[in-house]
Amino acid sequence: MRLDKLLSELGKATRSEGGKLIRSGKVTVNGEVIKKPDHKIDPLKDEVSLLGEVLTYKKFTYIMLNKPEGYVSATDDEREKTVLDLVSDEDRRKGLFPCGRLDKNTLGLVILTNDGDGAHKVLSPKHHVSKVYKFESKFPLSENDIKALESGVDIGGYLTKPCKIKLYSNLTSGEITLTEGKYHQIKRMLEAVNNKITYLERISFGGIVLDPTLKRGEWRYLTSEEEVIFK
Ligand code: URA
């Protein structure tokens, strides 16, 4: 791989900024200053440093983000703030995108990655990856509501797949586990039983649990154990 490409893939600089950094002697390869942007390196074997910082190369990046309200799950948007805006330029690796969508006013776990195949796998309906959401509803949920929601309701021409609901004792909040993700699915499911979602937060995705130490808007890289679902 070209040295300038490595810097741009890791989100350290654009290709032309990277070229400038390299030409001005800010980059070393195995301890030696290299001034040619097209210098070929093996990103998995060579030790590349930028301004003294060793760059670690991994083909794919996986980020766990605690999404606040008011951000859209997109890579860019003309009017709205996007979940990518929560990752600083320095850490925003090329090609990062949100793996699945949360509504603008839904909070919680979003995974960002540049692994298209991995994301396709976990989002594909045939893999039945489960997602757990905490919810609050406007009105109490009855036993019949729970039965209907768990066995499947019509959300405008689509019958939802079976799901699991754990209702808290106040009957207006709980956890719902889905293995699919239709547009506004939970909101539409509650509407199907004449109720309304007033709070929605994703707390788990494919067994990856939202890290309680992350405040809203904060993120961290997935651990290698957590990354396994993408492999
Ligand atoms: N269901 C919804 O209605 N909204 C979300 O953001 C996620 C699931």
The 10s digit of each residue's pLDDT in 26-82 is 999 999 999 999 999 999 899 999 999 999 899 999 999 999 999 999 999 999 999
- Residue for token pair 């990103």: 43
The alpha carbon of 36 and the centre of ligand 1 are apart by a number of angstroms equal to 49
pLDDT band of 15, cuts 50, 70, 90: confident
pLDDT band of 228, cuts 50, 70, 90: very high
Same domain, 45 and 78: no
Q: Which residues line ligand 1 (CB under 6 A)?
A: 102-103, 106, 184-187, 200
d(CA 11, CA 27): 15
Nearest CA to ligand 1 atom 3: 184
Residue 11 has φ and ψ, to the nearest 5°, of 75, 20
Same domain, 39 and 141: no
Same domain, 170 and 221: no
The catalytic residues are: 103
pLDDT band of 194, cuts 50, 70, 90: very high
Same domain, 120 and 141: no
For residue 91, pLDDT over 90 is answered with: no
d(CA 29, CA 53): 11
C-alpha pair distances (Å), 59 with each of 95, 97, 197: 11, 15, 39
| Closest atom of ligand 1 relative to the 189 alpha carbon | 3
The pLDDT value given to residue 141: 98
The strand pairing partners of 197, in sequence order, are 137
Work out the mean pLDDT of the chain and round it to a whole number: 96
Residue 66 CA, chain-centre distance (Å), reads: 9
Same domain, 214 and 120: yes
**Tokens (6 digits) for 9:** 């893939």
The pLDDT value given to residue 160: 98
What pLDDT, in 10s, does the model give residues 92-134? Answer: 889 999 999 999 999 999 999 999 999 999 999 889 999 999 9
Q: At what angle do helices 143-151 and 185-192 cross, to 10 degrees?
A: 130
Nearest CA to ligand 1 atom 4: 184
C-alpha pair distances (Å), 205 with each of 18, 101, 157, 191, 220: 36, 12, 26, 24, 15
CATH number of the domain within which 223 lies: 3.30.70.580
d(CA 213, CA 216): 10
For a mutational test of ligand 1's pocket, the pick from 72, 105, 106, 137, i.e. the residue with the most ligand atoms closer than 8 A to its C-beta, is 106
Of 62, 3, 7, nearest to 33 by C-alpha is 3
Structural domain span for residue 159: 130-205
The pLDDT value given to residue 188: 98
Same domain, 37 and 102: no
The alpha carbon of 68 and the centre of ligand 1 are apart by a number of angstroms equal to 14
Same domain, 220 and 117: yes
Mean pLDDT along residues 206-225: 97
Which helix or strand (DSSP H or E) is residue 149 part of? helix 143-151
The alpha carbon of 102 and the centre of ligand 1 are apart by a number of angstroms equal to 6
Of 10, 8, 5, 14, nearest to 40 by C-alpha is 5
Same domain, 75 and 171: no
Same domain, 28 and 135: no
The alpha carbon of 128 and the centre of ligand 1 are apart by a number of angstroms equal to 17
